[in-house]
Structure 1
């Protein structure tokens, strides 16, 4: 397999970002939803206009993972929008981090996570938040190893279906891409 590269997405990458977003979400979670719920969610979450807006917003950032000329994963980050009473305007959120299944479990997710966290903490330490599906145990373990702890939960709508989503937070400290030694507890994973 070709060596993957991770690069910051720009305005010309809207179609690629929307495409990989819809593809990885469907590959990971599509089997859980009625087709009409999935279609509605994909249009809302990964529509081209929404994606262009994300890429145009200076408070947000996205990355593409490419291998052999193909996009195989991505991440998005920005201000925290999770429904938790302790979220402040200074909080950051790792909003999405996905790799196609064939690219998971080889360290690429950790590299992508490191790029995203470095961007989130570029101006110094701050609380970083993540929403993770309650049944995504691999993601929860990954983020737990990196110092995130569960601090709440909420209902995440996918069309007419509402999933139980955990809210994880890493308190404002300096960042390391190395897993925390004493942590115990992601998105698709990656």
Structure 2
């Protein structure tokens, strides 16, 4: 029987990973949510949020950290982005942190990669003195909500998340 360590290694991403993350980010977002949007909205969002340039900026931001899950075949199969909280939280604490993105390719779900990525992200957030922690999650992504509840997150608000001209109802969770 193989362990989760045999499935993937987790490593800190660098600016040199921008193109890899652009492709992986676009693939995982489309795989998870692409069916919800008109094609033009999806393409607009992917062009802005998952371009190599947008990832290069994220990876250069000292207030963020990104980890990649890498399969033994060298295939990149998941990632987490953590940093200072950017959610629209009323009376946001100045030290608040956020799990900004957490995605794993669908074929690698249920192998505890999300938990391993969360551990890396939490360790970095703690080292930066980031507390409390927040996460934004789509209001109808029940699996993700259950996952985050296992980490002690609970709903404290809502906001609109734009994907092109479509605006999703998102929950703000806090731990």
- TM-score interval (norm. to shorter): over 0.9
Cα distance in 2 between the residues matched to 1:125 and 1:36:
37
Cα distance in 2 between the residues matched to 1:162 and 1:8:
32
The answer to whether structure 1 residue 21 and structure 2 residue 25 are counterparts is: yes
1:128 aligns with 133
Cα distance in 2 between the residues matched to 1:124 and 1:36:
40
The answer to whether structure 1 residue 139 and structure 2 residue 144 are counterparts is: yes
* 1:120 to partner: Cα distance: 0.8
TM-score w.r.t. structure 2 length?
A: 0.93
> Unmatched 5+ residue regions in structure 1?
171-190
Cα distance in 2 between the residues matched to 1:125 and 1:75:
16
* 1:47 to partner: Cα distance: 1.3
Q: Give RMSD over aligned pairs.
A: 1.2
2:96 aligns with 91
> Unmatched 5+ residue regions in structure 2?
none
1:59 maps to which of 55, 58, 63: 63
Q: Deviations over 1:36-64 (max 9, x none)?
A: 00000001111111110111111111111
Cα distance in 2 between the residues matched to 1:95 and 1:132:
10
Distance 1:76 1:19, change over 3 A: same
CA contact (8 A) 2:84 2:130 kept: no
Residues matched between the structures, number: 170
1:168 maps to which of 158, 169, 173: 173
Cα distance in 2 between the residues matched to 1:123 and 1:15:
27
1:179 aligns with none
1:154 aligns with 159
1:44 maps to which of 38, 45, 48: 48
* 1:118 to partner: Cα distance: 0.9
